[in-house]
Amino acid sequence: MKKRDIFLTVILVVLCIAALTFAQPAGVRKKKPPRHEYGNVVMNNLAEKNKMAPVVYNHWLHRALYTCRLCHVDIGFAMEAGGTKATMDDNNNGLYCGACHNGKEAFAIEEKGVPGVAARKNCERCHSYGQKVAFEKDFYKFTKGFPMSRFGDKINWIKTEEAGLIKLKDYLEGISIKTKALNYSADTEIKSNITGMPDIIFSHKKHAIWNGCELCHPDIFGVKRGTTKYTMQDIFAGKYCGACHGKVSFSDLDCQECHVKNVN
């Protein structure tokens, strides 16, 4: 590696550490979750009120099977934890979790059973917070052999999908509307405002495969290029790119995943 490249890499790492430091209040340090818990969401709007353990939603397994767009656009889950306010009546009527957990697409909320066998509820498979539950799929076994990354759950999901190791479902019968295939826009260059920090190359294609267009536009980003103004502080605070990165998608600590254009 050339001395110039080594120097730029060191500068990049220092800038990332500095950005993280200023993004958090003094004296506050985020606890790094285990890999299998990265992106997990605890849903407790109504659970404890009804004397049930809160629901633990594991993003890693769902993202390995379905696009983000299917859940957050077609099914209608909010992009923020606790924002959907789904109830068991909703689920039992085929909405939200019940759109898939019906015994056909995924395990049913309640197994009806056969003659002579009592029905069985699967409550503990979701209402698992603080409970000892043996899950059907283990993160480490499921992801063995997947391309790795440096932060978060340490799985490079984009390369995993490109390699054909996972197949993302983007259509749910009775829920989704059939649409024409997307014509992907060209990659977009986003200028860095920090001296020495490489510019960003934003891939519409990579994002569209997982998110479609509707997940980002117009609620998170304006449709017209350059109209949405944001900073790294905003991203670290969970806004704009930070709506996904650092929560579910690869960590916002991994600067080199986005800032990829060589500095002239």
DSSP 188-240: EEE--SSTTPPPEEE-HHHHHHHHTTTTTTTTTS-SSTT-----HHHHHTT-G
Domain ranges of the chain: 1-31+180-264, 35-140
Class of domain 1-31+180-264: alpha beta
According to DSSP, the β-strands at 110-111 and 55-57 are: unpaired
Q: What is the pLDDT of residue 19?
A: 52
Domains 1-31+180-264 and 35-140 share a fold: yes
Which residues of the chain fall below pLDDT 50? 7, 10, 21-23, 25-28
User: How many other C-beta atoms lie within 10 A of the C-beta of residue 19?
Assistant: 19
Tokens of 219: 């609620």
User: In sequence order, what E strands does the chain have?
Assistant: 41-43, 55-57, 110-111, 120-121, 188-190, 200-202
Distance, in Å, from the CA atom of 168 to the CA atom of 170, rounded to the nearest integer, reads: 6
Q: What is the pLDDT of residue 179?
A: 86
Q: What is the pLDDT of residue 26?
A: 45
Q: Are 13 and 151 in contact (CB under 8 A)?
A: no
CATH topology of domain 35-140: Cytochrome C3 (3.90.10)
Angstrom CA distances, 55 to 5, 125, 151, 246, stand at: 47, 9, 25, 21
Total residue count of the chain as it appears in this document? 264
Cis? peptide before 54, omega within 30° of 0: no
The model's pTM is 0.83
Angstrom CA distances, 264 to 195, 196, 198, stand at: 11, 9, 9
User: How many other C-beta atoms lie within 10 A of the C-beta of residue 53?
Assistant: 18
